[in-house]
Structure 1
Amino acid sequence: MQKSKAEPIDPLREHVYDGIQEYDNRLPNWWLWTFYGAIIFAVAYWFYYHQAGMDLPNEVILAKAKAEVTARAASLSKGPLTDDQLWSLSLDPATVAAGRLTFVSTCASCHGDNLEGKIGPNLTDQRWIHGGNPVQIVQTVTTGVAAKGMPAWGPLLGAKRVNEVVAFVLSHHKKGEPMVIDPTATASGKP
């Protein structure tokens, strides 16, 4: 029996385009399986989301988004805390402890671990540079004092953590004690 002429491994195609002949190679198997997998995934995705209705309806997604916006608006409409509310926060041990943690990590480098003042002013005496009532302290912490090098902590910490820090500072004072505004006070507490 006579053997037929072996077919070349990479047969040339019959046509010529711009003087170029092409080989008739098969795609690698991993390309084919990736292609087949993509087709199967596309059909399954189309069926699951567009035909069977298994995804959340747009009305449900919209209702959740509206609820989040409403909750956010309600929390913002409460307005800022009053002096009395901040004083009551300073009596809550959990709030004061949370405020201490934030104070130690963000404020202690300038105001000292015990609020005694380092390069920043002393926060344990009754002499305040920018006002010592609770709302003024919140305002100072939130907006910062750029002229003195104090950053605005409000955008970084958020209102809740700012209020906790103020509660921690107020826990070192008594409600009703005289607070003197003294713009000449320094870190040591002396003019």
Structure 2
Amino acid sequence: MGHDYDGIRELDNKLPFWWQAIFYLTIIFSFGYWAYYHVLDIGPDQWQRYEAELARAEADAASRSAGKAELSDELLLAYSQDSAKVAAGQADYTTFCVPCHGANGEGGIGPNLTDPYWIHGAKPMEIHKIVSEGVATAGMPAWKSVLGDTRVEQVVAYVLTLKGKNVPGKEPQGEKVEE
């Protein structure tokens, strides 16, 4: 039995078998899903999966940091005495920092890193924070996501070797820091 609308003839054809099979299998699956997650409460819900993933991430972070010394001013100063860390930091500095701070730390777009004047702090941990998190208002990008923790520490070690060299360059900015 068909219908005719504006010259378009519509027929009542049966749905293909594969289409009906998928429909009925979906209904059967939904009953199983409903029983598994809601009636029998066997399957983990979204909150339980979240907590499991969070615990796994915390365990991974703890295992990565196990055996690694707590980062401090003293540790970063010690890194600045380690020629391998300084050389690795210099390589990353050359790649990522030279466009703004100059090849010798003399400054350019960014501040001079060799004079005793510092805008956001001159302590090793303050420098580490600046390199890691950046300073959005000053146009300094955060490098932690690009370099990772180890390479940021190496760059800081290299920057610490530049302090006090007073290379001619950009005029002093910030407050004078006595060490």
> Aligning the two structures, in what range does the TM-score lie when normalised by the shorter sequence?
0.5 to 0.7
Distance in 1 of aligned mates of 2:84 and 2:136: 31
Which residue does 1:99 correspond to in 2?
89
| Larger radius of gyration between Structure 1 and Structure 2 | 1
Distance in 1 of aligned mates of 2:60 and 2:173: 46
| Alignment: residue pair count | 115
Distance in 1 of aligned mates of 2:121 and 2:63: 29
Which residue does 2:121 correspond to in 1?
131
The amino acid of 2:65's aligned partner reads L
Which residue does 2:162 correspond to in 1?
172
Distance in 1 of aligned mates of 2:125 and 2:135: 15
1:138–1:162 contact (8 Å) kept in structure 2: yes
Q: Matches of residues 38-117 of structure 1 in structure 2 within 5 Å?
A: 70=59, 72-76=61-65, 80-117=70-107
Distance in 2 of aligned mates of 1:136 and 1:152: 13
Which residue does 1:158 correspond to in 2?
148
Q: Considering fraction of residues, name the structure with more helix.
A: 2
Displacement of 1:70 in angstroms is 4.8
Displacement of 1:150 in angstroms is 1.1
Question: What SS class does the counterpart of residue 107 from structure 1 fall into?
Answer: helix
2:124–2:156 contact (8 Å) kept in structure 1: yes
Distance in 1 of aligned mates of 2:132 and 2:160: 16
The amino acid of 1:75's aligned partner reads R
**C-alpha RMSD of matched pairs (Å):** 2.7
2:111–2:170 contact (8 Å) kept in structure 1: yes
Distance in 1 of aligned mates of 2:82 and 2:60: 25
TM-score normalised by L of structure 2:
0.57
Distance in 2 of aligned mates of 1:74 and 1:127: 39
Q: Deviations over 1:115-136 (max 9, x none)?
A: 0101100001111100000000
